[in-house]
Amino acid sequence: GAVVSQHPSWVICKSGTSVKIECRSLDFQATTMFWYRQFPKQSLMLMATSNEGSKATYEQGVEKDKFLINHASLTLSTLTVTSAHPEDSSFYICSARMGSSYNEQFFGPGTRLTVL
Amino acid sequence: EDQVTQSPEALRLQEGESSSLNCSYTVSGLRGLFWYRQDPGKGPEFLFTLYSAGEEKEKERLKATLTKKESFLHITAPKPEDSATYLCAVQAGGDMRFGAGTRLTVKP
């Protein structure tokens, strides 16, 4: 199956710093990439959708100036959490999809962010 | 509004005890229904896509079925390694909407 990687797998940072998370599709070209957030024992919450070369579309309630998304190529998307605060601590998961919205998304392994 | 509801929230089975997980949905213009498995601290792993009512797909001990209102994930003779959270998601329009998941525990 299609493989999606994320880096780093976990990160601990101080409050006020920025953290960048990378998401790569390793063996396919991802037309669309998605960023999700997941709290313990809860389901995935979509944060934003990005298409290569276009601005990301953010879900209601997600601050686009705080969660910067760049989808520079068909295999790479980055999420930067700017001026992170403890409430931003969460499990961030990206996914990638090739082609149309009839196709499945393939998920990365997730990044555990802890903000002290 | 599109909704996806999974039941039960949690399910405990003995090894070998077959059962089914349910995913009911109300969406307009279903493009696909997806089942994923998620282990703790990991991203979801793709299992199946179903596109139309009556469709069935199988993989090892898992079988997914789809009707116009719901999908079932049947687990036959489960093993402890089948323990995980199973997520159902529906694609309608541009968004994939996830259910809350069913936490499956299979005891040896």
User: Smallest CA–CA separation between B17 and chain A, in Å?
Assistant: 25
Determine the pLDDT at residue B96: 84
Q: Is the peptide bond before B8 cis (omega within 30 degrees of 0)?
A: yes
Q: How far apart are CA B78 and CA A56, in angstroms?
A: 41
Share of chain B above pLDDT 70, in %: 99
Interior angle at CA B49, CA A100 and CA A74, nearest 5? 35
Question: Distances from the Cα of B62 to the Cαs of B47, B104, B105, in angstroms?
Answer: 9, 13, 15
Dihedral, CA of residue B41, residue B43, residue B45 and residue B50, to nearest 10: 130
Dihedral, CA of residue A102, residue A103, residue A106 and residue A107, to nearest 10: 0
> What are the residues of chain A with a beta carbon less than 8 Å away from any beta carbon of chain B?
1, 4, 6, 34, 42-44, 46, 49, 91, 93, 95, 101-110, 112
Determine the pLDDT at residue A22: 97
Closest partner CB to A107 (pick from B31, B41, B43): B43
Q: Is the pLDDT of residue B1 over 80?
A: no
Q: How far apart are CA B63 and CA B35, in angstroms?
A: 10
Confidence of residue A8 (pLDDT cuts 50, 70, 90): very high
Write out the E strands in A1-116: 4-7, 10-13, 19-25, 32-38, 44-51, 57-58, 67-73, 76-81, 90-97, 106-107, 111-115
* CB-CB neighbors (< 8 A) of A106 in chain B: 46
User: Smallest CA–CA separation between B77 and chain A, in Å?
Assistant: 25
- Of B24, B21, B18, B19, nearest to B8 by C-alpha is B21
A102/B91 CB distance under 8 A? yes
Query: pLDDT tens, A42-84?
Result: 889 999 999 888 889 999 999 999 999 998 899 999 999 999 9
Q: Is the pLDDT of residue B94 over 70?
A: no
Mean pLDDT of B88-103: 88
